[in-house]
């Protein structure tokens, strides 16, 4: 198939479409992620082109992931920090969005108080797990965009959720369709992407989401989550750890435009800033950060 790439202003060939590989046994990349040594960096010497988006921006997770490593903020503290964040991002919205938990009454009050400020930026968004019960919270809050947890490594699909890849895919697509039916923009958090079977699950899943997006006319964002901080940026490094390979693959093989791509990194191996910057350089428009880099375990990319 030949299609026109408006960003590069050329015709390009796209001849292969990856399909879900519904394997019987999980792919855990044991040769890469051993239990008896440090994680290995594998090279295949394939390099992908830089493709910086025409516009880049920051999103914030201070009041979601950030609260998982500190004493929980009070409502007043959240509102005060939110105001400062709005000033820091400026009138053009360099800090475009901020996500919130909605599980406790305090979380909901904080989100409501920030929405009542009437600030254009950052936009208040939420985060839920992939089930209909959580989705009811979004409708009650009248929030326009929500993150949905869609774990994509076999560590999570097989070992944590006790599902097959097909069952996980069907479950995820079901909750995304619920969001679309309600007119809510879904932001799919591809958790643990740096340990996932990229061509066997990640690309086919992303392609399905892009089809849903076209059918519904509602943009579906994809957040690539380096949940364990395994991402690397070395030239020629192989998937699933290659940051540039992940961004290029989602953009090229699944047709995810830059403005719908977001990178969410962790700092377990002290590469969170480098990885985030590389994601920008290779076609990801949004980088997810937190104030002072607070967040689960070693923290997120510092805003």
Q: Residue 42, exposed/middle/buried by CB under 10 A (0-12, 13-18, 19+)?
A: middle
Q: Which three-class secondary structure state does DSSP give residue 292?
A: helix
Q: What is the pLDDT of residue 130?
A: 62
Q: Sort 68 into a burial class: Cβ within 10 Å, 0-12 / 13-18 / 19+.
A: middle
Residues recorded for the chain: 303
Q: Where are the domains of the chain?
A: 2-302
The reported pLDDT for the residue numbered 103 is 84
* pLDDT of res. 147: 95
pTM: 0.95
Would you state the CATH architecture of domain 2-302? Alpha-Beta Barrel (3.20)
At residue 9, the pLDDT reads 86
Measuring CA to CA, which residue among 251, 232, 293, 258 is closest to residue 39?
232
Residue 40 DSSP one-character state: P
CB 20 within 8 A of CB 200: yes
Q: How far apart are CA 83 and CA 62, in angstroms?
A: 13
Please list the pLDDT of the chain residue by residue as tens digits (303 residues).
788 877 778 898 877 889 999 999 999 999 999 989 999 999 999 999 999 999 999 999 999 999 888 888 999 999 999 999 999 999 999 999 999 988 889 999 999 999 999 999 999 999 987 667 777 778 888 899 999 999 999 999 999 999 999 999 999 999 899 889 888 899 999 999 999 999 999 999 999 999 999 999 999 999 999 999 999 999 999 999 999 999 999 999 999 999 999 999 999 999 999 999 999 999 999 999 999 999 989 999 999
Q: What is the pLDDT of residue 198?
A: 98
Helix (H) or strand (E) holding 246: helix 243-252
CA–CA separation, 222 vs 261, rounded Å? 5
């Amino acid at each position: 198939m030949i299609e026109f790439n408006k960003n590069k202003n050329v015709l390009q060939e796209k001849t292969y479409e990856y399909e879900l590989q519904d394997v019987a046994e999980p792919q855990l990349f044991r040769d890469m992620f051993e239990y008896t040594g440090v994680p290995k960096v594998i090279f295949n010497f394939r390099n992908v082109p830089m493709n910086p988006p025409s516009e880049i921006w920051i999103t914030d997770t201070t009041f979601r992931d950030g609260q998982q490593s500190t004493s929980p903020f009070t409502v007043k503290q959240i509102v005060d920090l939110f105001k400062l964040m709005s000033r820091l991002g400026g009138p053009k919205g360099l800090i475009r969005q901020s996500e919130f938990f909605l599980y406790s009454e305090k979380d909901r009050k904080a989100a409501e108080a920030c929405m009542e400020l009437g600030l254009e930026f950052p936009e208040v968004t939420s985060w839920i797990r992939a089930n209909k019960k959580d989705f009811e919270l979004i409708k009650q809050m009248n929030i326009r965009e929500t993150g949905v947890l869609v774990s994509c490594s076999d560590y999570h699909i097989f070992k944590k959720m006790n599902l097959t890849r097909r069952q996980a895919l069907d479950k995820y697509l079901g909750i995304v369709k619920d969001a679309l039916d309600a007119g809510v923009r879904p932001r799919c958090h591809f958790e643990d992407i740096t340990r996932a079977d990229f061509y066997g699950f990640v690309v086919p899943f992303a392609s399905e989401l892009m089809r849903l997006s076209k059918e519904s006319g509602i943009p579906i964002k994809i957040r690539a989550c380096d949940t364990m901080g395994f991402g690397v940026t070395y030239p020629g490094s192989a998937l699933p750890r290659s940051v540039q390979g992940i961004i290029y693959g989602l953009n090229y093989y699944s047709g995810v435009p830059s403005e719908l791509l977001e990178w969410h990194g962790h700092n377990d191996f002290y590469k969170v800033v480098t990885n985030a910057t590389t994601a920008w350089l290779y076609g990801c428009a949004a980088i997810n950060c937190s104030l002072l880099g607070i967040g689960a375990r070693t923290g997120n990319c510092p805003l």
